Structure 1
């Protein structure tokens, strides 16, 4: 999955658009974005919850697909768990 596809897949799973920001930090949202100045110069990706300028539950990934699937899984699981699904 690529970052440009993430919002569409999340919407199909019933996750509200406002819950996610792709490519930029946005307050009170889960953010996924490229880090072009990664330590090895490869352009790593990061996922985090942004609130009041702070980053929480921050994770860095070596590639775009891993970052997108991680956030997708987290948000879809939270949606299903909140709805009482097994």
Structure 2
């Protein structure tokens, strides 16, 4: 659940996000009384690996910043954590 919560911010940048995430939701959407049914299988591993691949490759990452375009810093914090995203909204799309 924690991984899906963190990656959910990127869903607007990842085509077919729901389809890729479905196997992970299958094992994390268990009610309190059915948590013992958690089973990580090949489908879940493939989904997890696909998200890692997408997050580490172009066009989401690995592009030099455009000095003519402003940067946008988005932050979030709670009593137990802090996070932030630095992005640029370019004519070719949002870059993180």
TM tier, smaller: 0.3 to 0.5
Larger % of strand: which? 1
TM-score, normalised to structure 2, is 0.31
Larger Rg, first or second structure (1 or 2): 2
Higher RCO (CA-CA < 8 Å; seq separation 6+): 1
Larger % of helix: which? 2
TM-score, normalised to structure 1, is 0.33
